[in-house]
Structure 1
Amino acid sequence: MLEVFICDDNAVFRGKLKQLLENTILREKLDLKITISTKDPEEILDYVKANNVTGIYFLDVDLKNEMNGIKLGEKIREIDSRGYIIFTTTHLEMSYLAFKYKVEAMDYVIKDDDDFKTRVNSCIIKAFNTYYKEGHNKDYISINTDTRIINLRFNDILFIETTGTAHKIRIHEENRQVELYGNLKDIQKKLTPNFYRCHKCYIVNKDKIEEIDKKKNKIIMTNGEECYVSFRYKRGLLL
């Protein structure tokens, strides 16, 4: 899923920006979460390095740190090539640096402009729509709940399992789990061919398998999570 990051040395502004983004996420029912809001650029870099994420980054240009926002954006781009970087600043004259460092920023928003809120809202909605609909390919599933619309990209799904609750299933991604009402038979019809029904309780994304323990009939996924394959379906998985 898409994660949102804020880096700004001004605690008051940082809090206002976070509240603005949270309101937009709630109002537009966006399947996003604000993962880190900090003044420390290294905190964001450490997280992005340790986790396989695509992010939306709101970076202050002047962080009053050894690393300014433009340099942070450059380092983020090296790790997260698909991320959406938005610079926020009062220094319009520094915008040329984003081009100099080849950050490929999505936008450059001036903090004290009258249309700041509108620009920020536009950026986060555009990033969200681009991530899920780029190329106009239907490579995701949309799940409409009472509070939000959850878009699950096929490539982000590790496996799907039944739960202890009747007619409820759980979808596992790298960094989260989503529960919804449904059954494996119906959801499998919406999936791509790389998803395989390996057990009466599991559907696995074959592209996300790290290892298969044939003795224990166990599948280890790329993030270390485990699911099971039955004897009946093992042969088809190993082909």
Structure 2
Amino acid sequence: MLEVIICDDNLVFRDKIKTIIENTILRENLDLQLALSTENPEEVINYIEKNNITGIYFLDVDLKSDINGIRLGEKIRELDSKGFIIFTTAHMEMSYLAFKYKVEAMDYIIKDEEDFKQRVNSCLIKAYNTYYKEISKEGYISINEDSRIINIKLCDILFIETSITAHKIRVHEENRQIEFYGNLKDIQKELTPNFYRCHKSYIVNKDKIREIDIKNNKIIMVNEEECYVSFRYKKGLWAL
């Protein structure tokens, strides 16, 4: 899932850009999560390292910290090579530093410009569309959840199971679960060969298996979640 992170030392401005982003996500029905809004660049770095995300980053250039926005952008680029970095600044003359440190910024937005809101909206939507255009090459499924369309990268799925709610199934990723109306038989038709029906209630991504507990008929995923393998499908699993 694509996540949005804001880093700005000015609380008033940080809240302003946060409101713009939240309104855009709701208005455009974007499958985005505003994951972090902070004044602390170290908090941003720690979050990326811990969660291994692809993000859209709105960074103030002058953070009044040991790490300025450009340096933070440089570190982000090392950790998230596919992320989208947008600098918000009152000092356009500092933009040359982004080239010096090879940050590859998507845009620079002047804080006091009249079209600031429109520029933020434009960057958010452009980054979103670029990201999902790229992952379409890798393979994804689109599902309807309430009033939103959610695009899920196949490579992010650990396993899919039937829900305790009738006529629903649940997709498990490492950091979220998504439940929607459907059945395993239909969803399996949209999946790539690395997905295996290991049980009447489970489809597993064999690339995300950490180990198989043969004695207890369990599959343990890379994030320690467990799903079951039935006797009927066990032999086929060993052959994968």
TM-score higher than 0.5: yes
What stretches of structure 2 of length at least 5 have no aligned partner? none
1:146 shift after superposition: 3.3
Structure 2 residue matching 1:120: 3-state secondary structure: helix
**Residues 195 and 60 (structure 1), Cα distance of their counterparts in 2 relative to 1, 3 Å cut:** same
In the alignment, residue 101 of structure 2 is paired with which amino acid? Answer: Y
What stretches of structure 1 of length at least 5 have no aligned partner? none
- Aligned length, in residue pairs: 239
Report Cα offsets for 1:38-69 as digits up to 9, x if no partner.
00011111111111211111111100000001
1:48 aligned partner: 48
Report Cα offsets for 1:4-50 as digits up to 9, x if no partner.
10000000000010000000000110011111100001111111111
1:172 aligned partner: 172
How far apart are the structure 2 equivalents of 1:204 and 1:227? Answer: 8
> Map of 1:13-162 to 2, 5 A cutoff?
13-134=13-134, 137=137, 139-162=139-162
State percent identity of aligned pairs: 74
Structure 2 residue matching 1:95: 3-state secondary structure: helix
Is this contact kept in 1: 2:138–2:153, CA < 8 A? no
Is this contact kept in 1: 2:56–2:127, CA < 8 A? yes
Report Cα offsets for 1:93-116 as digits up to 9, x if no partner.
011111111111111111111221
Is this contact kept in 2: 1:26–1:148, CA < 8 A? no
Alignment of 1:201 onto 2:201: yes
How far apart are the structure 2 equivalents of 1:209 and 1:68? Answer: 40
1:137 shift after superposition: 2.6
After TM superposition, the structure 1 stretch with the greater mean CA deviation from structure 2, 137-146 or 73-82, is 137-146
> Map of 1:206-221 to 2, 5 A cutoff?
206-221=206-221
Which 4+ runs in 1 deviate beyond 6 A?
A: none
In the alignment, residue 173 of structure 1 is paired with which amino acid? Answer: E
Report Cα offsets for 1:172-230 as digits up to 9, x if no partner.
11111100001000011111111111111101111111111122211111122111111
Is this contact kept in 1: 2:5–2:36, CA < 8 A? yes
How far apart are the structure 2 equivalents of 1:5 and 1:162? Answer: 33
1:121 shift after superposition: 0.8
Structure 1 residue matching 2:30: 3-state secondary structure: coil
2:231 aligned partner: 231
Is this contact kept in 1: 2:135–2:153, CA < 8 A? no
Structure 2 residue matching 1:196: 3-state secondary structure: strand
After TM superposition, the structure 1 stretch with the greater mean CA deviation from structure 2, 40-49 or 209-218, is 209-218
Structure 2 residue matching 1:137: 3-state secondary structure: helix
After TM superposition, the structure 1 stretch with the greater mean CA deviation from structure 2, 142-151 or 66-75, is 142-151
Is this contact kept in 2: 1:167–1:182, CA < 8 A? yes
How far apart are the structure 1 equivalents of 2:4 and 2:135? Answer: 22
Is this contact kept in 2: 1:161–1:170, CA < 8 A? yes
How far apart are the structure 2 equivalents of 1:201 and 1:135? Answer: 27
**Residues 220 and 73 (structure 1), Cα distance of their counterparts in 2 relative to 1, 3 Å cut:** same
